[in-house]
Amino acid sequence: MQERRVLVTGGSRGIGRAIAVRLANEGWSVAIHYGQQREATLALAAELGAQSSGVYGADFSDPRQATSLVQSVLQDGPLHAVVNNAGIYVPNDFLHASAVEFEATLRRTMAVNFESPLLIARAAGQHFLVQGGGTILNVASRVGFKGESGAVLYAASKAALINLTRSLAVELAPAKIRVCGIAPGWVDTAMARDGMPDRLQQILKDLPLGRMASPEDCASAAAFLLRDEASYLSGVVIDINGASYFH
């Protein structure tokens, strides 16, 4: 495969890190974004060696930084794909949270999980339009399809990301820009473990395959969607949920 360059957001740990490693192993040149974990991202870049194509920081709680991020990455070379992986989950009691807490969680969740991926897709898409094509891959979540108590704002942001994926797939297809996604269920990451200490046994009981997904399971699906073999797939969002639900 001719070397191609991909931007992976939230690449310092978890699913993003696994995707960055998998794509580097498949010959991609990987630009890695981080929000706070600069040292971990630099360590990952060192691990990727020649397949690393830069480390870039941006705080997506300010969505304007998403556009600036893409501009900075493009200053260092062309892009052929972006993986919108960065995201946050903040538990929220819909009725009992204070007005200040609710407003802050709403704004931050939508900024990081929806507005920033949207602006990255727009900035990258404008580059892909001139370039003659490219791929946008959005990392959504099972709760974008399947609601969950205590996760109203997170679920809404991921549902918006899923429908952004589908709508952009239709609109950008004539420009040879594919837009796909993955929707992980429970994944064994630090972010997931923070929300499950009292629920682990019930979570495992509800998973027919008997285990949570690994970040590498998610990376495998993402890598497939970015390959030439998947060139006719656009608008698809692949569930990674161990047969735990269907829609």
Torsions phi, psi for 31 (to 5 deg) = -90, 130
DSSP-derived secondary structure letter, 176: T
**Cα–chain-centroid distance for residue 168?**
16
The answer to whether 240 touches 185, Cβ cutoff 8 Å, is yes
Phi, psi of 207 (to 5 degrees): -105, 105
For residue 29, the Cα-to-chain-centroid distance in whole angstroms is 18
Q: Positive or negative CA dihedral for 132, 66, 142, 32?
A: positive
Q: Which distant-in-sequence residues (6+ apart) come within 8 Å of 237 by Cβ?
A: 138, 140, 162, 165, 166, 180, 181, 182, 183
Active-site residue set: 154
